[in-house]
Amino acid sequence: MKKMLVVVIVLLAGLSTNVFAQDGKVRLGIKGGYSVTGWQGETVKSFKDLLEYTNGNVQTKWRQGFHAGAYLSVPLGAGFEFEPGVQYSQKGMALEGRVPGESIEFLNAKVTVTNKAEYLDVPLLAKVYLGEGFNLFAGPQLSFLLSNKVNVNAGALGFSAYNNDFDWKTPQRTVDVGFSAGAGYQFQNGLNVGGSYDLGLTTIDDNADYKSYNQGFKASVGFRF
């Protein structure tokens, strides 16, 4: 895994050096922001069907997290850019269960199990500008799994009585091939904002025993130098 990360960084650095030497118009940018992620697929649908029998006491939740990284803006022509990037990204999903019973409902006792998957995303985006600043972008994305844990949190009345992380023992796919698409706005002072939807095209587990895929939404704020 470390070797793959080194290769990605070296390739992006080489691309930056070569294009800067050609026309000097390539720009480096940084961005980060809020993200919500979950799973989708046949297994998740079956899982939700089973949860209907819990009368709402157990529910699936989006995992809330963040992402941050850097990118290059490489001009390809009037209104077109190629934007490769590298960013740390939190993904996963959550399952929340509440202790049933009217007599203890005021305690708000619940247990939350969260898949805390950490990835290094490498999006390779094509961007087109529609008017001044407004742009649409889309392209493939490689996601390298950095760590994968399960967090168990139990508590009541807003206080946590138990909180611990465990390593996920099931073999997970170390490279997730996916797709990213979204829209944004680039201001003339370098500031930019955007939103995107990411979808994994390969199953989360290495053996594809359960048909589940990563998905998520990102809201980003960045600056292009």
- The pLDDT of residue 154: 79
In the CATH hierarchy, which top-level class contains the domain 2-224?
mainly beta
User: Is residue 157 packed enough to be buried (19+ CB in 10 Å), middle (13-18) or exposed (0-12)?
Assistant: exposed
Listed residue (96, 70, 54) closest to 13, CA to CA: 70
User: Which segments in the chain show pLDDT lower than 70?
Assistant: 1-24, 45-57, 98-109, 155-161, 169, 208
DSSP-derived secondary structure for 5-70: HHHHHHHHHHHHHHHHHHHS--EEEEEEEEEEEEEESHHHHHHHHHHGGGTTSEEEEEEEEEEEEE
pTM of the full structure: 0.80
- The pLDDT of residue 162: 74
User: How do the domains of the chain map onto residue ranges?
Assistant: 2-224
Print the SS3 string covering 136-202: EEEEEEEEEEEEEEEEEEEEECCEEEEEEEEECCCCECCEEEEEEEEEEEECCCCEEEEEEEEEECC
- The pLDDT of residue 225: 94
